[in-house]
């Protein structure tokens, strides 16, 4: 069989075109999970971050949000298993992060971010990597943690014998016991019912999250002073991170850093007054109660010092408080 010169030329051109035209890269799809709904400030950030990263990468990085995804513990474990690529979670199950929740240890979200960027944060990130095979991206918050109560209180002493729903962080059971309360673990998706039925007399979580999940309907009062800083952790599984090219990884980190200050540090601190106003609008002018902040600091100092020293060693407490 002979090949004509025309056919040979067409075949050569087709072969050249196949090598000369780069194949369109398939988008890297990452599943992001969080335990709360789309109203939470942290998930509003996640949606904005996903959109910005998609635009900057020309669609090459596509983050899909999976919200109301179950308990924070199950989400973190899903990242370790690889069924979820990345997450934003308060829970870590690691004492290196948990000690930072002791009330009055961190001044605010900006202070927490400085700690995360320093040597204490580096050690915590290494612990996260060992335990969950995940890369720590950074921290931020939906706002400071708050203490809400079904009935009012005039002092910290009034918390004695009250059953307080605590998050799954080691610091909070210790803090509640120090105040004479009864720490009561309740899964996040069961908190509303527990408060409604009196299984819990109050709860501790981020104020913005309380409002987003309508916990104010069944726990009328909230203490105005901060009860710890809600430093969430944003992390991505190592295998998922490796799916991104070096250029995409750099873009991912750069975009996060550019958006973090406004979304995850400044907005939570600015929004506190708005959250208190929303609480008063829902439950009346006396529903946001003032308790002695100096007394809380005095009560919590030995708890914070002992826990930090146990986890990080002598001198770490001063290192954190002076950051």
Number of Cβ atoms within 10 Å of the Cβ of 301 = 15
Residue 199 in domain: yes
Residue 7 lies in a domain: no
Asked if residue 10 belongs to a domain, the reply is no
What are the tens digits of pLDDT across the range 146-188?
Answer: 999 999 999 999 999 999 999 989 899 999 999 999 999 998 8
The pLDDT value recorded for residue 25 is: 61
Residue 310 resides in a domain: yes
Residues 278 and 266 in one domain: no
Q: Do both 160 and 124 map to the same domain?
A: no
pLDDT in tens, 268-315: 888 899 999 999 999 999 999 999 999 999 999 999 999 999 999 999
**pLDDT tens digits along 242-260:** 999 999 999 999 999 999 9
Residues 54 and 124 in one domain: yes
Whether 159 and 213 map to the same domain: the answer is: yes
Strand order across the 232-237 sheet: 61-66, 28-33, 86-89, 232-237, 134-140
Residue-wise pLDDT for 93-135, tens only, equals 999 999 999 999 999 999 999 999 999 999 999 999 999 999 9
| Closest to 317 (Cα-Cα) out of 79, 105, 146, 86 | 105
For the chain, the straight-line distance linking the first and the last C-alpha, in angstroms and rounded, comes to 81
Same domain assignment for residues 49 and 174: no
Does 122 map to a domain?
Answer: yes
Domains held by the chain: number: 2
**Range of 262's domain?**
28-94+107-142+230-272
pLDDT > 70: percent of the chain: 92
Shared domain check, 136 and 77: yes
Domain shared by 68 and 199, yes or no: no
Q: Could you give the angle at which helices 246-260 and 41-56 cross, rounded to 10 degrees?
A: 140
Share the mean pLDDT of the chain.
Answer: 91
Helix (H) or strand (E) holding 263: none
* Mean pLDDT of the region 75-87: 97
Within a domain: residue 245?
A: yes
**What integer is the mean pLDDT of 185-198?**
94
In a domain, 121, yes or no: yes
| Tens digits of residue pLDDT in 4-46 | 444 434 444 444 444 443 444 689 999 999 988 898 888 999 9
Check pLDDT > 90 for residue 64: yes
Same domain, 202 and 151: yes
pTM of the predicted protein model: 0.86
- Residue at 244 is within a domain: yes
Is 90 exceeded by the pLDDT of residue 261?
yes
* Pair 114, 187 in one domain: no
Domain harbouring 244, CATH code = 3.40.190.170
């Amino acid at each position: 069989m002979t090949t004509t010169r025309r056919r040979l030329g067409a075949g050569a051109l087709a072969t050249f075109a196949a090598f000369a035209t780069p194949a369109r890269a398939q988008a890297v799809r990452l599943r992001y999970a969080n335990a709360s709904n789309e109203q939470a400030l942290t998930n509003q950030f996640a949606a904005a971050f996903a959109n910005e990263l998609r635009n900057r990468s020309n669609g090459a990085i596509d983050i899909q949000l999976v919200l109301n995804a179950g308990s924070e513990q199950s989400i973190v474990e899903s990242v370790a298993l690889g069924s979820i690529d990345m997450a934003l979670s308060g829970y870590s199950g690691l004492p290196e992060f948990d000690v930072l929740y002791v009330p009055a240890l961190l001044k605010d979200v900006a202070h927490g971010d400085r700690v995360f960027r320093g040597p204490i944060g580096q050690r915590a990130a290494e612990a996260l990597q060992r335990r969950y095979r995940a890369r720590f991206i950074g921290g931020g918050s939906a706002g400071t943690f708050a203490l809400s109560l079904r009935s009012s209180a005039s002092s910290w002493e009034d918390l004695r014998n009250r059953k307080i729903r605590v998050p799954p962080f080691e610091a909070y059971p210790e803090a509640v016991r120090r105040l004479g309360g009864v720490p009561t673990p309740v899964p996040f998706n069961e908190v509303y019912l527990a408060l409604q039925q009196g299984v819990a007399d109050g709860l501790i979580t981020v104020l913005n999250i309380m409002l987003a999940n309508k916990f104010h309907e069944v726990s009328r009062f909230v203490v105005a002073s901060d009860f710890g800083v809600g430093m969430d952790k944003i992390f991505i599984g190592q295998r998922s991170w490796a799916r991104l090219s070096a250029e995409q990884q750099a873009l991912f980190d750069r975009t996060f850093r550019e958006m973090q200050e406004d979304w995850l540090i400044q907005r939570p601190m600015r929004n506190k007054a708005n959250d208190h106003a929303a609480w008063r609008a829902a439950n009346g002018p006396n529903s946001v109660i003032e308790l002695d902040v100096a007394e809380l600091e005095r009560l919590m100092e030995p708890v914070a010092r002992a826990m930090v020293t146990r986890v990080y060693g002598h001198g770490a407490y001063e290192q954190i408080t002076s950051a």
